[in-house]
Structure 1
Amino acid sequence: MINQAIALINDVLWGKWQVLIYLLVMAGLWFTFKLGAIQIKHFGHMFSLIRNSTQSDKNGISSFQALCTSLSARVGTGNLAGVAFAISLGGAGAIFWMWVIAILGMATGYAESLLAQVYKVKNPKGEFRGGPAYYIQQGLGLKWMAILFSICIFMGYGLFFSAMQANTIADAISHSYGFSTQSIGIVITVLAGIIVIGGLRAIARFAELVVPFMGAAYVLTAVGITIYNIDLVPAMLADIMLSAFGLQEAGAGAIGAAIKNGIQRGLFSNEAGSGSAPHAAASAAPMPNHPATQGYIQMLGVFFDTIVLCTCTAVIILLAGIDGTGELGGIRITQDAMQTHIGDYGSHFVATAITLFAFTSVVANYAYAQSNLRIFKLDNKAGNWGYTAAYLGMVFWGSSATLKQVLAAADMALGLMTVVNVIALILLTPTIVAVSQHYMNKRKRNEDPSFVIDECKVQGTVKPGIWDQASSN
């Protein structure tokens, strides 16, 4: 009965009705329009903010740490296994639609991260926390909606997503080295427990060390493979574009599959609009001290995740000419493709990459759900230990579960989260536009772009001491 219920919900969200596909595309178009194509016009400025992003204060982690934390959650199975699924189910054209949803999603990612900063709060330790439940409750005054989102993120990031990442790690290592998935699950659970017990700052420090290294290694490998197979690249690009619009022979009926799988896997990878990254964004003390700063930097996360890393995986698979369906459409097709390019070492490389990519997601997912304990008044010792036990239990279970079960549950949780979050973002559009304009106007006048709440009209209420003049960094 549970499997049937999950299948029914996913059919509405992802299947026959495709509610999420239309919702996310419309949200991306809406914020692209309302913010003046910010992801294109301010593309260079987005990168320029990285220069000062390593600075922070005692109240929050640095913007760079927040970016790495959000990337550690974004960069995972979606970048390796998810791209393989998209290609095996939707053809090469699915990659084009992943690009489209990423470009549109950059504007949505900016909007949700900006709001997370505006409505952030301080926990009992004086550290910044926030996310969609907070901007829903404070900005819209809809506590029931905030509770609904928190339940969804506990189901998704606190339980199913971590289980899915553990599943992919166990499958990749088992495929390469023959270890049992249960023994791998024990190791993953113990290591995750050691890190998450240290809290968000420990998770952020771990992400800051691992994410840049693993991202650079993967990109350089993909670039090397592309250069070595440069003669095949024009045909590959033509295949992507023709398949995207069903223009190949016997491919006219496949355009729907390309769009559906490209957008679905693209969302699962970059998470724009789902309401996950705002939890990391809210924890930052940005420099310059303005909500828009973190919006720009988190927008960069969407770009790097999908336009860069997902494209790297697509290139590796398509240039290898590997085809796969069903379970092979997961991480194993990526391993086989890499093995085609660089021999037996390829399988080991992907196993290592997915272990690092997915494991960083496992620990970041913990922080996202934990940020919502405050909504249920469980931000205390008993609540934290209870949540930690449930989280680690799901990590262990996921390592041995079938991928189909875990993927369906993860898709359902992500879909429900996204519906709630996107509705809230649309309702809070006046605040998003006003805060963005405040930042842009100060830049035009060459003024310090620090944010003071009295200078900008926002919806609802902002916690005292967060954005008043005295608290400016």
Structure 2
Amino acid sequence: MDQIVDFLNTIFWGYILIYGLLAVGVYFTLRLGFLQIIHFPEMLRTVLRANKSDHAGITPFQALCTSLASRVGTGNIAGVAVALTLGGPGAIFWMWVVATLGMATAYAESTLAQLYKVRDDEGNYRGGPAFYIANGLKAPWAGAIFSVCLILSFGLVFNAVQANSISDAMEGAFGAPRLATGLVVAGLSAVIIFGGISTIARTAELLVPFMALLYLGLAIYVLVVNASEVPGLLALIVRSAFGLEPAVGGVAGGITAAMLNGVKRGLFSNEAGMGSAPNIAAVATPDPHHPASQGFVQSLGVFIDTILICTATALIILLSGIFGHDPALTGTQLTQAAMEVHWGPVGRYFVAVAIFFFAFTSIIGNYSYAENALVYLGHGHMAGVTVLRLALVVMVIWGALQSVTTVFNTADASMGLMASINLVSILLLSGLVVRLTRDYIQQRKKGQEPVFLAESMPELKDQIDTEIWGRK
């Protein structure tokens, strides 16, 4: 099994995604006119006013929090530490690059997800890559393959990764048995996911802002106390990204190692281009009533995840002075040790608690994506959903008992297949993304509230739900 996983990772990460991901990000950045930079204020505007909902969908803010629940997970704490260990400080620079380019990619995929959303049998909004692949590209078979990949990766494997990091942190900080931790996390997850998408959204809306702001607040304190060292560390990150800095201790170095690990961990953390966040973006009631508004909201999510939270973790580790002294110290334990330098013994416990909340919300956020995919496959009835929920519970317990290497490698392989399918799809639909973006921006420049109506693009009448987009 390990040989198969290693082979798939070699194909995806050695040849396809490490270049494809960057290329697609560059493509959308150029074609959308550096939208993620020039129209960054629009992202803030759409989130700050994002309070609109109806009985069929959740609010844009809830959609942002749910996507952040999935994005902001162990990748922000354990994943950053792994990237530093395997790729050196330069890996952080490539995480920034992936995030900046990924903001454009995230915008494109979430805009498409909004446009092609539908109503399920209960009248609730559903959508995501499977839907725009099936309706926009007329390839329902490809949508089915994507959905299976999504369920396997986000519904199962990725949640095992999150549970693994929780059990690792709890064992390191409190000496808690891994099995006991797995059972507790599985039980709490079951309570939330059996309540459905609306319960997940409300939970994320409460937990995500609190945990993210608390973590950033502690990180800012560390940066302020060590302000004189920050400029030098930022320079170190940039120099290391281009091989201009020697490896530290037993830590790997070089351009290739920095780029490979930065891209892998960056994508794993912010999920841009993977086709995951669009599943919850489609469930939102857009405010303004235009597909592009959810694109802006989800693009901001990538910025928050990587540029803010991942960078905070990296600087906390580098400022601690312990990086590179013990090559065996990596993942969650490295972050814990670094926080202990800054905050004393309480730092270790704080990271364990942060890991718990970050990973727990990721589990319930990931599940919401998988349920959406299950609906596309025609198994969104009670029996099918119950089987998926029970399978998630089992995977959480399994993940809590596995080794870090096995779980991370399996996650990389499943994520690679999923992302490949999605990247090709959004490229083929890129012309439509450009048209929607121009329409939104032109209305905004005229001082109008951007509104999209199906009648403005009659050629799409057989592809989109004209009832959803036939009214303001």
**What TM-score range do you get, normalising by the shorter chain?**
over 0.9
Q: Provide closer, same or farther for how the CA distance between residues 385 and 22 of structure 1 changes in structure 2, counting only shifts above 3 A.
A: same
1:83 — aligned with what?
A: 80
Return closer, same or farther for 1:33/1:401 CA change in 2, 3 Å cut-off.
same
The alignment status of 1:312 with 2:312, answered yes or no, reads yes
Residue 103 of structure 1, aligned match among 100, 105, 110: 100
Alpha-carbon distance in 1 for matches of 2:196, 2:319: 42
Partner of 1:291: 291
Secondary structure of 2:329's match? Answer: helix
Indicate the SS of the match to 1:371: helix
In 1, the alpha carbon distance for the partners of 2:223 and 2:458 equals: 50
- How far 1:419 moved relative to its partner? 0.2
Following the alignment from structure 1 to structure 2, what is the Cα–Cα distance between the partners of residues 119 and 326?
A: 48
Name the counterpart of 1:169: 166
Q: Is the 8 A contact 2:68 2:305 kept in 1?
A: yes
**Alignment-derived partner of residue 467 in structure 1:** 469
Q: Deviations over 1:206-252 (max 9, x none)?
A: 00000000011011101100111122222212211111111124699
> Which residue of 2 is the match for residue 12 of structure 1?
11
Aligned to 2:191: 194
CA contact (8 A) 1:431 1:457 kept: no
How far apart are the structure 2 equivalents of 1:100 and 1:45?
21
Tell me the CA shift for residue 107 of structure 1.
0.2
1:321 aligns with 2:321: yes
Could you say which residue in structure 1 is the equivalent of 2:179? Answer: 182
Instruction: Give the corresponding residue for 2:390.
Output: 389
Q: Distance in 1 between matches of 2:284 and 2:327?
A: 40
CA contact (8 A) 2:179 2:400 kept: yes
SS at match of 2:427: helix
Alpha carbons of structure 1 residues 250 and 294: separation in structure 2 relative to 1, 3 Å:
closer
Q: Show the counterpart of 2:331.
A: 330
Checking the alignment, whether the CA contact within 8 Å between 1:73 and 1:360 is kept in structure 2 is: yes
- Equivalent residue of 1:448, what SS? coil
Moved more, 300-309 or 447-456: 447-456
1:259 is aligned to 2:256: no
Give yes or no for contact 1:102–1:303 (8 Å, CA) kept in 2.
yes
Distance 1:447 1:48 in 2: 14
1:36 aligns with: 33
TM-score in terms of structure 1 length: 0.96
Q: 2:134 maps to which residue?
A: 137
For residue 230 of structure 1, what is the aligned residue in structure 2?
227
1:456 maps to which residue? 457
Gaps spanning 5+ residues in structure 1: where?
none
Correspondences of 1:18-29 after superposition (within 5 Å): 19-29=16-26
1:369 aligns with 370
The whole-number CA distance in structure 2 between the counterparts of 1:369 and 1:432 is 25
Task: Please name the residue that 1:214 is paired with.
Answer: 211
For 2:336 and 2:247, the matched residues in 1 are separated by: 28
Report the number of matched residues.
467
Asked whether the equivalents of residues 317 and 338 of structure 1 are also in contact (C-alpha less than 8 Å), the reply is: yes
- CA 1:386/1:326 → structure 2, altered by over 3 Å: closer, same or farther? farther
Matched residue SS, 1:98:
helix
2:341 alignment partner AA: T
Q: What SS is found at the alignment partner of 1:372?
A: helix
- Whole-angstrom distance in 2 between the partners of 1:179 and 1:336: 18
Identity level (%)? 47
Q: Is the 1:438–1:456 Cα contact (8 Å) retained in structure 2?
A: no
Could you tell me how far 1:436 is from its partner in structure 2? 1.1
Listed one character per residue, the Cα deviations across residues 251-296 of structure 1 (whole Å, up to 9, x for unaligned) are 9961111111111111100000000000110000011111111000
- Whole-Å Cα distance in 2 between the matches of residues 128 and 293 of structure 1? 16
**Do structure 1's residue 280 and structure 2's residue 267 form an aligned pair?**
no
Post-superposition shift, 1:465? Answer: 1.4
Compared CA separation, residues 133 and 424, structure 1 to 2 (3 A): same
- Per-residue displacement from partner, 1:52-87 (whole Å, max 9, x unpaired)? 202211111000000000000000011000100010
Unaligned runs of 5+ in 2: none
* C-alpha deviation, 1:45, in angstroms: 1.4
How far is 1:326 from its partner?
Answer: 7.1
